[in-house]
Structures are given as structure tokens and as C-alpha cells.
Amino acid sequence: MQVRRAGLSAPDAVFGLRWTGQMTAVRIKALAPHLPAGLSEIYCHPALGREALLRKLMPSYAQEAEFAALVDPEVRRALEAVAEIVKR
């Protein structure tokens, strides 16, 4: 992969493209136990609010819900549990 040859990091897998704009805490917690070993990216577009431009460009996206998911303590615990399993 060109990115790695250039000395940059890149994820081994990307999750969330199918649910773009809808990566809620429920989805991430359900996904967590199925993440493979390696570096995974959870694809989302978090935001604290929806300005007019965001509403126009991404009308079906739930940016606030995605932000809430990323700071949810239960999501963090679910991802940390997966990281512990992978370390073993």
C-alpha cells in the first residue's frame, strides 16, 4: 500500500461506510465485539450541531448522534474490552 511505503499509518479495516451518518452508540457497541485484530477505523462525521450547510450537504446524517457515540462511556468500555481481547 502506498501509504505504508511512505511511512504513514493507515487502518487495516474501515467500518461504518454502510451506515454513513448513522454510526450511533448502539451500532458501535454492536460492532465492537466483531472488530478484527489490527487498526480499525470507525467511519463517521461527528459534530456538535448542524449548521445550515451541514443540513444541506448531509440531510440524512445524524452528526450529533455520532458525536455522542464517540464520547459515550459504554462505547469506550466496549472498545477497550475488544482491545484487551486482541492483546492476549
pLDDT tens by residue, 11-43: 999 999 999 999 999 999 999 999 998 889 999
**Domain count for the chain:** 1
Query: Is 20 among the domain residues?
Result: yes
Which H or E run includes 63? helix 63-70
**Structural domain containing residue 57:** 13-87
CA distance 20 to 85: 27
Residue 88 has pLDDT above 70, yes or no: no
Query: Is 7 among the domain residues?
Result: no
pTM over 0.75: yes
Residue 85 has pLDDT above 80, yes or no: no
Residue that is written with C-alpha cell 469506550 in the block: 76
Residue 40 φ then ψ, to 5°:
-115, 140
CA distance 82 to 47: 26
